[in-house]
Structure 1
Amino acid sequence: MPHDTSRRSVLKAIGGAATVPGIVGTAAGRGNAPIPRFAAFNVENFETGQVQEKGDEQAAAAARVIQEIDPDVLVVNELANNVQEATVDDSVPTDQTNVEAFVDNYLSEPQRKNLEGIKYEYTLQPESNTGLLSEDDYDFNKDGVAGERPGDAFGFGVYPGQYAFGIASRYPFDEDAIRSFQEFLWADMPDNLIPLADDDGVDTSEGNIYLTEAELGAFRLSSKTHIDVPFDVDGDTVHGLFSHPTPTGFDGANNFNGR
């Protein structure tokens, strides 16, 4: 079950000023009930040190953009998971999750005179496959060295939880009904398009990555995670289905991420 179901979250403006909303949408309300607004943002490598303390320029700029849009449910992509990060660095604070800290330190305080702070009561910081190594040492990227980050992690990251994502919401959600597909194997996906290679015949020219038969039993579908969160919206259940896969721009000729 994912960590943290208490309060809040979010993101980073590239260059300290620009943040791009990925998805903004609504879910139908019932009767005269207000229509909830869902939004997803992608932030470039939003790190623990930026949100756990006040005064970060990029975090403040990101909070300003979010306050302008004022979504009811917010997903922040590339927000580091500090709980996972702390498993390899004991100096990383974990009293609050990064999504909680961002809400407390930035989102809850107006970032411009005509804006209001947003006090998201509910947050979720799911575990991510980024920077997470398998129990067995596999050379997933076929560089001749097994079990090393970032190339041999399930998802690209120099530490566990880098480039993860967080969720903040005005609406409560059913923690016991959350479904995380973080550990779902790519090989278990029907009609998958996994690029395969013989154990002793792997062609890694031009950045190509192929999975061996042995690796099929370990390699996960999600480079971060897929998660299903059921929100209680004025008595109705609205499912938020969230994911953030690695873009195809990092692929070689075999279209590894595109597949």
Structure 2
Amino acid sequence: MIIHHRHFATVAAFIAVIMFTSSAGADDATPKSLRLATFNASLYGKKAGQIFERLADGKDLQATRVATIVQTIRPDILVINEIDYDADAATAKRLAEAYFAVGQAGLEPIEYPYVYSAPSNTGIDSTRDLDGDGKSSGPGDAWGFGIYPGQYSMAVFSRFPIESANVRTFQKLRWKDLPDALRPTDPNTGESFYDDATWDVIRLSSKNHIDVPVRIGNRVIHVLASHPTPPVFDGPEDRNGCRNHDEIRFWNEYTQNPTATFLVDDQDRSGGLTEGELFFVAGDLNSDAADGDSRSEAIKALLANPLLTDPKPQSVGGREAGGGYLGGAKAKGDPRLDTASFGRSGNMRIDYVLPSRGFAIQQSGVFWPTKKAPNRKLLNASDHRMVWVDVELQNE
């Protein structure tokens, strides 16, 4: 694990720096710098309410490992992918209060008094046969793949106030309303995978696309978070690949098209992000620009978005793991940038924190301890790694 643009003599020295320094002190009302992070924590169950119950006693091993990583990196604003949604944010708040706010492995607790839990399309029955298996009731027939409503959702944890009244969600935005939407088509027959009636109503977001404004002093930072569907588990029509592509492309439309009439949120407000706003795009985007099965044009276009910066967070652990793809084939991408490890399918860069150009980038990294690091076992928390970026608030 390394800090981008900086080098430390040993991993232990780096861990010490992270453990005892934070980008903002607890008492700073308007800090000069912030640590932004994303982490797919894989906190999902087999039925609704299971994760909430698992977290009840504060001793769940997976959640403890997640919290230890959080307390090591100490983000000021954190996006967690794959945590259950409930209307009162009970699961996310329990994680914050029973794990993040309780010291783990000798680390200092970290409090997130502001939590936003995002509603999700996962597990919500569409009453249609969306996966083409001849049935209309199953996890593949939900608006977003899921066994129960709220599975695989996401939450934002913040040390600073969330402007709840100004949150925007795009859970119900129709896929077809995105300009030049990639309608899945069977290459063997030339026929659309979805009939016209289904294409007319299917939603773009497999979970949600959210804009969560966080107020820091006299500044507002927009947390733009999503978790597009994996571009696999489909057929020659590549329906999941098409959807992943367009879910990622949404952010280019949203950040660069403030007057877009097709961008109508769940609150019935239209348009993209107001020009000049501070923001960062974060989440498990399930697409690597160099490796994997996604339609990489979308992630490449997002990384080239002129309004944002790619800090290219890196780790020594990722370099040591060496990438790899499909049982030993050499990966095309730089393994130092990898953020997830999928066994035989290899390691890939699919988790991102992409700040807008209104920030100055200070440093960044991926939490991926080396094989001999004392905290190596923390990687068992998830098949993803936490990605973090330190940014400086520039003068207005």
Instruction: Tell me if both proteins adopt one fold, taking TM over 0.5 as the criterion.
Output: yes
Write the distance in 1 (CA, Å) between the matches of 2:86 and 2:142.
17
- Structure 1: 5+ residue stretches without partners: 1-25, 27-31, 84-93, 204-208
Corresponding residue of 1:102: 95
Residue from 125, 140, 147 that aligns with 2:130: 140
Deviation readout 1:4-54 (Å, 9 max, x if unpaired): xxxxxxxxxxxxxxxxxxxxxx9xxxxx83211111101224333332332
Q: 1:35 aligns with which of 33, 36, 56?
A: 33
CA offsets 1:96-137 (integer angstroms, 9 cap, x no match): 611100011111011021x11111010011110000112xx2
Q: Which residue of 2 aligns with 1:78?
A: 82
CA RMSD in angstroms comes to 2.1
For structure 2, the residue ranges without an aligned partner over 5 or more in a row are 1-22, 24-29, 45-50, 243-396
What SS does the aligned partner of 1:105 have? helix
Question: In structure 1, what is the Cα distance between the partners aligned to 2:55 and 2:86?
Answer: 10
Q: Aligned partner of 2:132: which letter?
A: K
Q: Which has the larger radius of gyration?
A: 2
Take 2:239 and 2:175, find their aligned partners in 1: how far apart are those partners? 12
CA–CA separation in structure 2 for the residues paired with 1:98 and 1:106: 12
Larger relative helix fraction: 2
Relative to structure 1, is the Cα distance of residues 235 and 63 closer, same or farther in structure 2, using a 3 angstrom cutoff?
Answer: same
Residues 202 and 210, structure 1, Cα contact 8 Å, conserved in 2: no
Aligned length in residues = 206
Off by >6 Å, runs of 4+ in structure 1: none
Identity, in percent, stands at 38
3-state SS in 2 of match to 1:53: coil
Q: Residue 180 of structure 1 aligns to which amino acid in structure 2?
A: T
User: Could you tell me how far 1:168 is from its partner in structure 2?
Assistant: 0.7
Q: Structure 1 residues 126, 69: CA separation in 2 closer, same or farther (over 3 Å shift)?
A: same
Question: Pick from 119, 129, 138: which aligns with 1:149?
Answer: 138
Paired residue for 1:117?
Answer: 109
CA contact (8 A) 1:52 1:98 kept: no
1:78, 1:163 within 8 Å by CA — same for their partners in 2? yes
What does residue 22 of structure 1 align with? none
- Which residue, 207, 215, 229 being the options, matches 2:198? 215
Aligned equivalents of 1:35, 1:252: Cα separation in 2:
46
TM-score of the pair, normalised by structure 2:
0.49
Amino acid at match of 1:55: K
Would you say the 8 A contact 1:132–1:160 is kept in 2?
Answer: yes
Q: Distance in 2 between matches of 1:119 and 1:33?
A: 16
Give the corresponding residue for 1:162.
Answer: 151
Amino acid at match of 2:151: Q
- Any conservation in 2 of the 1:178–1:230 contact (CA below 8 Å)? yes
CA distance in 2, matches of 1:57, 1:120: 20
Instruction: Give the aligned partner of residue 188 of structure 1.
Output: 177
Show CA shifts across 1:70-108 (max 9, x none): 00111111101144xxxxxxxxxx7x6111000111110
Quick check: 1:65 aligned with 2:69?
A: yes
Q: Aligned AA for 1:70?
A: R
Alignment partner of 1:239 is 2:222: yes
